[in-house]
Structures are given as structure tokens and as C-alpha cells.
């Protein structure tokens, strides 16, 4: 047998031994070592240790109790590679620190003087077939950058993990392209493997510092309006997380402010940031990410020796992935020189490796060297590694054709993904035909300067952030930035004006999927348009055209911000455009209407819209504004005042747009219901329902904000319940909510819940159903910034508790009603006061109950909300009855019954007759209750009917019973 055969035999034996070691699993102290899964589990989950350290530990544990020489450890951890002893000592020291930190007081690795090391802790071995095969599932966000094969960063990842275990805020700092995002994402995956929730926020596409809190809140699924940072803090308190903020350098101050607030107010939250410079906070731990290790100048290395350096390993791996390249003996010094000249920066190395498919290695080395010589002319105050990356990109840029270079500069204006058509719109001109542009994009993709992928069934492109920044600098240096930026904004204007036209015909989900991806470019274009040197008129048109997208995505806060900025242009007198101003003012007024307080200024805002619309003969805006004014009047407790603008709405719709008539009719039915004209309201809404109104086309969501079908079923459920059809009312309410959910429109969902579904559920005594609706309401309000509903949600929550027969929520109910009054959200407040008064009377707080019901009666009179007057009078009678004033109670019950009979409100009549039965001294009370009970042929399991039946059967108490629906 030859010496070469002996070597092969030794290698085979070593491989067999290594395989046997890796198939087993080992337990020592609080640890479980799983070599096959590359996992070391401690008492609190996986421990992050470097790749070499893991190999060393595995070998020592497998030989536990025996001395292991340094040479054996070096051969195992660095096979076929010469490595100094110092490397081994560093990894042994790191292992000792990691193990002792997780198991204080225990000794695991002892030094054998002159020989090596010995693993001294007791070890139990599980055979290969019983070794664990799975790892804990990570709790990872779908947008976290993937693991594409991380090379040379195991120790850095482990170090970041250790810092995260000790510090609340860790910032990975390094040059562009050094791999900050890669290391941060890997550390986040390790944290997720230990059960921690990871939230990833890509700040690289956020151009405005004011949008930083919004971006963080959106990643959390929290509200972004009125204060995104408040919402973020609130969400994190209930959801302890690792917040990964990626790409912070251009937003450092805003990120620092947000991070400081989170660290101070959310003790369980941890922040991992990546930036080219520290954030500058006192509590910040900065981890500086160095380039990958590269060979020293003039190193005469064999291939295996060169591959021991992570920079060379990365170059060879990426070149192999592209072309099957293998490192030959003569190539090793050349590749080593390339990696050294590129300072071990991963992005630069990957760009160089991409060229290895078409260029000789010597040519690449010469080109890199020439590019680096230009650094002497660069800014001396820039970090060296940043200069090196710039030089690498300079070199890569110098290899491009004129067409490719022009395209790369041009597409740098895009903040996110772009299509070939987008690139043509921004770049193509008389000198560059569309066909040349398509070929140029293909070339740039092949050279790894443009990343391409299929998204939503279409090919999309993007630039890596560092490449985009570099290309932007080239664009500015070429004097093309103003023209390309304008083209970008003009192109976005065309896109969104087309989107606005399509809003009429495409399904909401399909439409939103097509245009939501443009949101970052939209923001960038708007920033440019309203900046000095921009084009304010273009910005006004773009803001106007983008309103449907903000409405479709329920981005109420962001819409308000952009629209308010646009309106300042009109107020400054710089531009005049009546139709656009009218549209913007309508959007602004609607934004005010969805705020937490219905301020009196809203009425003036809508009236100004109406005036502008009429002045510009814009029937569409006039209809929107009249609709918004009616909505405001009804919800601010002035339903009787709504009939005049409703008449105007009907007149304009009949003359200009008959398709809008059902929306006005639905609002009129609601106003009639509120003012007690129950029969007319029901006839009107039944006519609309029987007409089988088609679901509002998507434009109607932006026009009248609620889906028409949703709104009709919502109002219909109210009239059905009051008329004495509880089951039909429940079905109508359910249909309203289900329809709103099916179109995934947050404003319609929340309106269906607060306007009818919750009311009908609580009136029926279906408290469990109400609880489910409340959970949906809170989720919808938080996700869609619909803050107008928040005080009402609190009121409905407290009411649900009282319906269970508990008095625990009386304080909350009182406080929430007061909050509704402060917010001027007065619709149904007299009714909510009657709920509070009845709960107070049940608890025995009769003085406050009397004061509360008196305020309810006054509210009915002032607001002319006649629909609930019979119920308010009934509760007033109950308060008198509990106070011992039986005659007063009887008189109030009689008034309540007369009102209910005149209205045709059979559900109120049943409740009043039940109260008369409770009073017990009136003749014929039982007969009257029986008469009203027999009018119902459905809903027999609802609370009121169950209670009436029990009283009639003589099995129920005389008063106070509150049965929930069975």
C-alpha cells in the first residue's frame, strides 16, 4: 500500500469517527449536546457558540475523561489546515466562559500541562437512534432576511447573542456591505429558537425620519395613528420581543429617540439595530462587525490553507455556486490577494466572485488594485472600510457598459421593487430604447448589481441598499439626479392616477395587492415634490391620486399627514387647483371625523368642501362632503339636523349620479331610526335590502368609506330588533360583519360592529357573542387607526360586563360615557346612561341612579334621539320603584308604553310590560305581559323573552333576573 493509500485510509477512519460522534447525543451538567443538529441546549434553551468552538467541544465531550492532545483537536477542528496553537487557546477560553456562564460553579474543561485538554464533567451518551432530531420552532417574522449560507460569522453571531443576553440595546456597527444584516438576522433566528418573538423592521426604504415610529408600529401590527410610538410601547408591553431595526444610519436620531423610549418604558423588550454608526445612547452596547479574515500580503498558501480564511471561503463558495469553480493550487495566492485588497468585505467579495465566471482571476486582481488606488482622492474623513466598499463598487461600475451604467444610475431612484416598465419610464429616452434597457437590466442582474425575483406572478427587480446608495451618488455626480427624480415622481403620478381610475372596476384585494407595494416609492416621491427644488403642483396631484390607496389600506394617520401637508400649499397661495383642493379637503375632513374627538371644526370642514365642490361643479366631491356632514351630525348627537343635507344629497345624486342614491337612502333610514321614526326607517331599509343592492364597487369605499351592503344590513339589524324580530336582527348583524370581513376593509368592519352587531348581541343577552365581537373590534381599531371608536369600545365592553349581572364595571361604564361626551361622540349616549342608571339601581346607588337617568332624559330631549326614549323612561320607572315611589314608577311605565306603542317598538314594549309585572300592583300586568310575549314568534331563547316566560310561569323572581342566552 502506498503512502497516499495510507493517507486515504487515515482520512476515511477520521471521517468514520467523526460521523459516529455526530450521530450520538451527550448530556452533561445542565447541557444536552446534539452534534448532528449543531445544537448545544442549556436549561434556558440553545447556547450560541462559534462553529470551531462547537467542533472542539464535541470532540472533547466524545472523549470525556481522557486527555486530548492539542494536535488531535487541531486536526479535528481544522482538518487539512495549518493553524497556530493560539487559535485553539482562544476557542477553549470562549468555551469555558460560555459553559460557566450557563452553569456557575461547575468545571468542564481542564488543562493537561504539556499535553492538551481533558473534559472532566460526567457525561452520559445517548445512542444514535435516540438522538434528538428536531429543534424548537423559531418564532420568526416572514420578512426576516433568509439564511443563504452564512460563512465566517459564527463567532460574531455568538457574540451578538451574548450581548443581547446582557444589554437591552445592541447596535451592530460596520461598513456598508460588511454583513450587518446577515449577522443580525442570524442572531435573531437564534433568539427565536429560544422562544423569543422577533419583529423585523426594514428601515432602509424609509426616507422620512417622521415615519420611523410608523414603520416600527406597522411591523408590530400596532396602530400608527395618532401616536405610533405610544402604540408601539403599548404593543410591546403585551408582547415582549426582540425588535430588529435594520439600516438605521440615515435615520439615526429618530431611531435613537424611539429606542430610548422603548428601553425606558418596556422592560422586557430588547432592541438589535444595524447601522453604519452608533445611535449615541447611553444604554447602547456597540458591537463593531469587522470584515472577514483574509490572508496577509504575500502569503504563499495551499488551497486548503487559503480556505481556512473566511474571506477566501466566501469567494470560492459563491464562485462555485455560479459556475462550479474549484480553487486550484495556482489560484490560491491570487484569490487571497483579491480578498485582501477588498478588505474582507462580504459584499465586495461576492461582487468579485460574480465576475469570476467571465474574467480571469488575474484580471480581477488587477482591476481591484487599480480601483483601490483611486481612494487617495476620496474624502479622508470617511471610514477606511467604507472607502474600500466604494472602491469595490467603483471597480464593478467601471466594468459596466455605458448602457448598463446609465440604467444602474437611473433605477437608483426607486426605493423598493420596480418592474422593467418602471425602469423604462424613468431611464428610457431618445438615446436608450426599451429593448436596450431590458438587455441592460438582464446584464446588471447577471453581475449581481440588480436582484430579480418573481413577486405576485411578475418579475420584479431591486437594488441592494449599498448599491442603491452608491448608484445614487453616481447619478448626482453625472448631473442626472434632478431629471431622474422628476421622472420617478411623474411616473408615480401616472401609476396612481391609473390606479384611481381602476378603483372603479377591480376587486379591492386585487387592486390593493397591485399598488400597496408602491407605498415606499410614493412616500419618496412626495418628499421630493414638497421639498425645495421639487414640484409642489405635482405633489398635490400625487397626494390626491394616492388617497384611494391610503383609504383601502386604512392608513388613516399617514393619509392625514400627507393631505395636511398638501393643504398648506393651497393655504400659502403657491398653487390654485379647485378640484384637487376640494378632494384633499374632503379627505382631510374625513380624517378629522375618524379622530378620537368629533371636534366642532369638522362641520366647518365639510361645509367648506361643499362650497368648493359647488364652485368647481364637482358633483362627486359634493356628494362625499354632504355624506360626511350627515355622518358627523348623526354621530355627534344631532340626527334631526341631518335631514337638510340629506335632502341636498338626494337632489345632487338624482341630478348627477343616481348610483349614489342608495347610500343617501341608507343614511336617511339611520337618521329616521335615531329620531324615532322606526316604521319609516324600516320601510326604507327593507326596500334597499330587497333591492339586492350590489356590493359597493371599490370606489365607494373611498367615496362613502363604508361598503354599501355592510351598511344596509347594519342599519336593518337595528330596526328589526326594535320591531321585535331578534333572530332576524342577529342574522342581519352577522351578515353585515361577515361581508365587511370578506372585503377586508377595516373601516367597514369596525362600523358594522359598533353600529349594530354589538348592540343587537347585548340587547339579546348574547354576551359571549358580544365578547367575540369586542375582541374583533379592538383588533380592527388598533390595526387601522380608527380611533373614533376607542371610547365607544370601552363603553360597550363595560356594558357587556353589566349584562352578566355584575356591578364590577360600573366605574368603567361611568368613565367611558364621560369620555364619549368629551369626545363629542354623542350618538346613543342617552341610552348608555340608562344602562348605567339601571346598573347603579341594582347595586343600590339610588341617588346616583336618579341623577344619571335624569341626565339621560335630558339627553333624549336635547339630541332628539327618540328611538330610546321608551327605554329611558322604563329605567327611570325602575329607579323610582327601587326608591319606593311605586306611583311614580307606574306613571313612568305608562308613558314608556305609550311611546313604544306609537313607535311600534315591540322589544321595548316587552321590557316595559316585564317591568310592570315586577311592580306587581297594577291590574292586568300578567295579562299585558302575556299579550306582548305572544307577539313574538322568534327569538324565544333571548334574554328578555326567557325572563318574561319565567315570570308568566311563576318560576322567576319578581325583579332583577338577567339570564344570558343559552
pLDDT (average), residues 145-151: 71
Model pLDDT, residue 698? 38
pLDDT in tens, 870-927: 999 999 999 999 999 999 999 999 999 999 999 999 999 999 999 999 887 556 888 8
pLDDT at 490: 95
| Beta carbons of 893 and 908 less than 8 angstroms apart | no
Mean pLDDT, rounded, for 318-328:
80
* Confidence (pLDDT) at 45: 60
Instruction: Give the pLDDT band (50/70/90) at residue 376.
Output: very low
Higher pLDDT, 379 or 775: 775
pLDDT-derived band at 456, boundaries 50, 70, 90: low
> How many other CB atoms sit within 10 Å of the CB of residue 916?
26
Helix (H) or strand (E) holding 452: strand 451-455
pLDDT digits (tens, 9 = 90+) for 176-197: 678 888 899 999 988 888 888 8
- Read off the pLDDT of each residue in 426-451 and give the average, rounded to a whole number: 76
Confidence check: pLDDT of 528 > 90:
yes
CA distance 183 to 161: 10
**pLDDT of res. 398:** 77
Per-residue confidence band for 392, with pLDDT thresholds at 50, 70 and 90 = low
Q: Give me 740's grid cell.
A: 365587511
Distances from the Cα of 515 to the Cα of 158, 396, 518, angstroms: 40, 33, 5
53 confidence band (pLDDT: 50, 70, 90): confident
Please give the pLDDT value at position 395. Answer: 61
Q: What is the mean pLDDT of residues 305-334?
A: 85
The pLDDT assigned to 364 comes to: 76
**Start-end of H helices in 479-618:** 481-502, 508-515, 519-530, 536-552, 556-572, 578-593, 601-615
pLDDT tens for each residue of 598-638 = 788 889 888 988 988 898 888 888 998 999 899 999 999 99
**Whether pLDDT at 711 is above 50:** yes
Residue 573 has pLDDT above 50, yes or no: yes
Determine the pLDDT at residue 726.
96
Band of the pLDDT at 857, cuts 50, 70, 90?
very high
Which of the two residues, 280 and 592, has the higher pLDDT score?
A: 280
Cβ atoms within 10 A of the Cβ of 70, count? 16
CB contact at 8 A, 311 and 349: yes
Give pLDDT tens digits for 206-218.
778 888 998 898 7
Q: With H, G, I as helix, E, B as strand and everything else as coil, classify residue 38.
A: coil
Q: Could you read off the pLDDT of 794-830 as tens digits, one per residue? A: 999 999 999 988 888 899 999 999 999 998 889 999 9
Higher pLDDT, 10 or 741: 741
Residue with cell 457574540: 159
pLDDT of residue 785: 59
Please, are residues 731 and 740 in contact by the beta-carbon 8 Å criterion?
no
Question: Cell numbers 434553551 label which residue?
Answer: 45
Picking from 34-43, 539-548, 714-723, which range would have the lowest pLDDT averaged per residue?
34-43
Average pLDDT over residues 3-14: 42
Determine the Cα–Cα distance for residues 796 and 790; give it in Å rounded to an integer.
10
Confidence band, pLDDT 50/70/90 cuts, at residue 963: very low
Whole-number pLDDT of residue 87 = 64
Q: What pLDDT digit, counting tens, does each position of 86-110 carry?
A: 667 767 877 887 787 777 767 788 8
- Cβ-based neighbours of 885, under 8 Å, separated by 6 or more: none
Lowest mean pLDDT among 82-91, 213-222, 711-720: 82-91
pLDDT of 696 higher than 60: no
Residue 296 has pLDDT above 60, yes or no: yes
Q: Is 345 helix (H, G, I), strand (E, B) or coil?
A: coil
Q: Residue 442: what pLDDT?
A: 81
pLDDT at 129 over 50: no
**Long-range CB contacts for residues 682-687, cutoff 8 Å, separation at least 24:** 682/716, 682/719, 682/720, 682/723, 685/712, 685/715, 685/716, 685/719, 686/716
Sheet containing 109-112, strands listed edge to edge, beginning at the edge strand earlier in sequence: 67-69, 116-119, 109-112
Res. 252: pLDDT tops 80: yes
| Residue 248: half-sphere exposure toward Cβ, Cα within 13 Å | 32
Amino acid at each position: 500500500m502506498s503512502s497516499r493509500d495510507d493517507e486515504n485510509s487515515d482520512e476515511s477512519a477520521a471521517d468514520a469517527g467523526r460521523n459516529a460522534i455526530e450521530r450520538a447525543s451527550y448530556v452533561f451538567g445542565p447541557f444536552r449536546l446534539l452534534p448532528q443538529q449543531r445544537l448545544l441546549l442549556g436549561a434556558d434553551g440553545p447556547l450560541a457558540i462559534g462553529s470551531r468552538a462547537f467542533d472542539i467541544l464535541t470532540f472533547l465531550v466524545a472523549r470525556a475523561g481522557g486527555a486530548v492532545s492539542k494536535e488531535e483537536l487541531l486536526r479535528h477542528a481544522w482538518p487539512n489546515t495549518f493553524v497556530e496553537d493560539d487559535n485553539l487557546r482562544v476557542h477553549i477560553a470562549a468555551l469555558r466562559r460560555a459553559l460557566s456562564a450557563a452553569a456557575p460553579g461547575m468545571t468542564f474543561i481542564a488543562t493537561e500541562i504539556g499535553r492538551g485538554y481533558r473534559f472532566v464533567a460526567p457525561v452520559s451518551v445517548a445512542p444514535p437512534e435516540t438522538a434528538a432530531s428536531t429543534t424548537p420552532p423559531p418564532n420568526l417574522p416572514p420578512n426576516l432576511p433568509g439564511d443563504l449560507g452564512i460563512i465566517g460569522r459564527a463567532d460574531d453571531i455568538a457574540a451578538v447573542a451574548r450581548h443581547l443576553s446582557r444589554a437591552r440595546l445592541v447596535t451592530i456597527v460596520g461598513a456598508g456591505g460588511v454583513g450587518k444584516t446577515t449577522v443580525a438576522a442570524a442572531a435573531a433566528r437564534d433568539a427565536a429558537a429560544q422562544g423569543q418573538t422577533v419583529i423585523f423592521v426594514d428601515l432602509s426604504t424609509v426616507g422620512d425620519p417622521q415615519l420611523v415610529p410608523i414603520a416600527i408600529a406597522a411591523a408590530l401590527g400596532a396602530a400608527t395613528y395618532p401616536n405610533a410610538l405610544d402604540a408601539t410601547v403599548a404593543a410591546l408591553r403585551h408582547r415582549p420581543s426582540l425588535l430588529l431595526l435594520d439600516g438605521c444610519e440615515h435615520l439615526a436620531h429618530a431611531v435613537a429617540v424611539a429606542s430610548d423610549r422603548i428601553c425606558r418604558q418596556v422592560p422586557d423588550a430588547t432592541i438589535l439595530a444595524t447601522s453604519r454608526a452608533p445611535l449615541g445612547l447611553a444604554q447602547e452596547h456597540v458591537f463593531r462587525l469587522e470584515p472577514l479574515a483574509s490572508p496577509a500580503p504575500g502569503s504563499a498558501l495551499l488551497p486548503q490553507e487559503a480556505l481556512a480564511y473566511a474571506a477566501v471561503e466566501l469567494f470560492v463558495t459563491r464562485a462555485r455556486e455560479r459556475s462550479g469553480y474549484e480553487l486550484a493550487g495556482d489560484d490560491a495566492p491570487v484569490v487571497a490577494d483579491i480578498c485582501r485588497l477588498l478588505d474582507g468585505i462580504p459584499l465586495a467579495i461576492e461582487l468579485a466572485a460574480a465576475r469570476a465566471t467571465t474574467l480571469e482571476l488575474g484580471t480581477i486582481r488587477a482591476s481591484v488594485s487599480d480601483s483601490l488606488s483611486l481612494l487617495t482622492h476620496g474624502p479622508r474623513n470617511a471610514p477606511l472600510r467604507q472607502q474600500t466598499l466604494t472602491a469595490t463598487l467603483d471597480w464593478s461600475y467601471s466594468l459596466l457598459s455605458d448602457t448598463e451604467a446609465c440604467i444602474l444610475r437611473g433605477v437608483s431612484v426607486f426605493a423598493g421593487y420596480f418592474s422593467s416598465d418602471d425602469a423604462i419610464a424613468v431611464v428610457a429616452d431618445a438615446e436608450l430604447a426599451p429593448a436596450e434597457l431590458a438587455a441592460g437590466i438582464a446584464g446588471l442582474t447577471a453581475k449581481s448589481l440588480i436582484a430579480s425575483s418573481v413577486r405576485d406572478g411578475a418579475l420584479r427587480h431591486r437594488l441592494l441598499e449599498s448599491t442603491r446608495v452608491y448608484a445614487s451618488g453616481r447619478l448626482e455626480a453625472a448631473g442626472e439626479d434632478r431629471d431622474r427624480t422628476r421622472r420617478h415622481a411623474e411616473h408615480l403620478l401616472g401609476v396612481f392616477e391609473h390606479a384611481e381610475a381602476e378603483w372603479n372596476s377591480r376587486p379591492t384585494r386585487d387592486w390593493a395587492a397591485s399598488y400597496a407595494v408602491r407605498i415606499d416609492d410614493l412616500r419618496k416621491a412626495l418628499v421630493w415634490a414638497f421639498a425645495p427644488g421639487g414640484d409642489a403642483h405635482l405633489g398635490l396631484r400625487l397626494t390626491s391620486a394616492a388617497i384611494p390607496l391610503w383609504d383601502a389600506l386604512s392608513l388613516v394617520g399617514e393619509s392625514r399627514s400627507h393631505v395636511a401637508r398638501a393643504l398648506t400649499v393651497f393655504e400659502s397661495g403657491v398653487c390654485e387647483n379647485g378640484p384637487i383642493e376640494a378632494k384633499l379637503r374632503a379627505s382631510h375632513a374625513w380624517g378629522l371625523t375618524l379622530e378620537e374627538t368629533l371636534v366642532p371644526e369638522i362641520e366647518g370642514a365639510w361645509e367648506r368642501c361643499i362650497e368648493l365642490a359647488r364652485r368647481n361643479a364637482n358633483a362627486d366631491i359634493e356628494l362625499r362632503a354632504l355624506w360626511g356632514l350627515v355622518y358627523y351630525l348623526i354621530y355627534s348627537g344631532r340626527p334631526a339636523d341631518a335631514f337638510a343635507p340629506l335632502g341636498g344629497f338626494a337632489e345632487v345624486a338624482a341630478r348627477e349620479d343616481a348610483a349614489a342614491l342608495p347610500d343617501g337612502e341608507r343614511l336617511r333610514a339611520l337618521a329616521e331610526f335615531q329620531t324615532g321614526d322606526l316604521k319609516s326607517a324600516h320601510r326604507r331599509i327593507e326596500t334597499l335590502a330587497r333591492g339586492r343592492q350590489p356590493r359597493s364597487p371599490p370606489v365607494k369605499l373611498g367615496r362613502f368609506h363604508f361598503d354599501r351592503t355592510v351598511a344596509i344590513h347594519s342599519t336593518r339589524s337595528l330596526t328589526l330588533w326594535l320591531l321585535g324580530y331578534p333572530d332576524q336582527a342577529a342574522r342581519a348583524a352577522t351578515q353585515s360583519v361577515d361581508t365587511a370581513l370578506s372585503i377586508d376593509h377595516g373601516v367597514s368592519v369596525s362600523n358594522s360592529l359598533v353600529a349594530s352587531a354589538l348592540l343587537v348581541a347585548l340587547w339579546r343577552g348574547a354576551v359571549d357573542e358580544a365578547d367575540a365581537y369586542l375582541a374583533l373590534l379592538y383588533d380592527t381599531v388598533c390595526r387601522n387607526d380608527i380611533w373614533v371608536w376607542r371610547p365607544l369600545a370601552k363603553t360597550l365592553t363595560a356594558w357587556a360586563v353589566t349584562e352578566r349581572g355584575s356591578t364590577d364595571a360600573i366605574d368603567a361604564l361611568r368613565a367611558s360615557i364621560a369620555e364619549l361626551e368629551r369626545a363629542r361622540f354623542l350618538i346613543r349616549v342617552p341610552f348608555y346612561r340608562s344602562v348605567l342608571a339601571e346598573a347603579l339601581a341594582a347595586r343600590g346607588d339610588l341617588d346616583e341612579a336618579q341623577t344619571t337617568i335624569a341626565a339621560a332624559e335630558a339627553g333624549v330631549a336635547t339630541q332628539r334621539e327618540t328611538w330610546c326614549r321608551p327605554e329611558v323612561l322604563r329605567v327611570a320607572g325602575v329607579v323610582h320603584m327601587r326608591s319606593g315611589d311605586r306611583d311614580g314608577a307606574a306613571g313612568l311605565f305608562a308613558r314608556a308604553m305609550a311611546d313604544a306603542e306609537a313607535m311600534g317598538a315591540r322589544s321595548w314594549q316587552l321590557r316595559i310590560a316585564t317591568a310592570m309585572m315586577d311592580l306587581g300592583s297594577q291590574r292586568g300586568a300578567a295579562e299585558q305581559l302575556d299579550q306582548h310575549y305572544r307577539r313574538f314568534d322568534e327569538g324565544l331563547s333571548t334574554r328578555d323573552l326567557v325572563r318574561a316566560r319565567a315570570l308568566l310561569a311563576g318560576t322567576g323572581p319578581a325583579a332583577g333576573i338577567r339570564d344570558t342566552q343559552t
